[in-house]
Amino acid sequence: MIDTAVGSSYGGKMLAPLGISEFTESVYRAMLGDHTLSVQQLAERLGSTEKRIRQALDQLAALSLLADDEPDGTLRAVGPAVGLSALLAQAESEMQERQRQIAATREAIAAIALEQERHTQRDNAMRLEGVDTVRGRIAQLADTVRSECLSLNPRSAQTPQAKSASAALNQQMIERGVQLRCVYQESYRNDPALVAYARWLTGIGGKLRTASTIPMLTIVYDREIALLPLDPTDSTRGAVEVRSAGVVAAVYALFEQIWAGAVPFGETAPVDANGLDPQAKQLIQLLADGQTDEMAARKLGVSLRTVRRMAAEFMDRLDARSRFQAGLEAGRRGWI
Render pLDDT for 253-295 as a digit per residue (tens, 0 to 9). Answer: 999 999 988 888 876 666 677 777 777 777 878 877 778 888 8
Is residue 21 classed as helix, strand or coil in its secondary structure? coil
Residue closest to 293 by CA, chosen among 261, 263, 266, 327: 327
User: 78 Cβ partners below 8 Å, 6+ apart?
Assistant: 64, 65, 66, 67
Coarse DSSP helix, strand, coil percentages of the chain, rounded to the nearest 5 percent: 55, 15, 30
Which segments of the chain does DSSP mark as H helices, in order? 4-7, 22-33, 39-46, 50-62, 83-121, 131-144, 160-175, 192-203, 245-261, 278-288, 293-300, 304-318, 323-332
Query: Is it the case that residue 226 has pLDDT exceeding 90?
Result: yes
Render pLDDT for 150-203 as a digit per residue (tens, 0 to 9). Answer: 999 887 666 777 777 788 999 999 999 999 999 988 877 767 888 888 889 999
Contact 183, 209 (CB under 8 A): yes
| pLDDT band with cut points at 50, 70 and 90 for residue 4 | very low
User: 34 Cβ partners below 8 Å, 6+ apart?
Assistant: 3
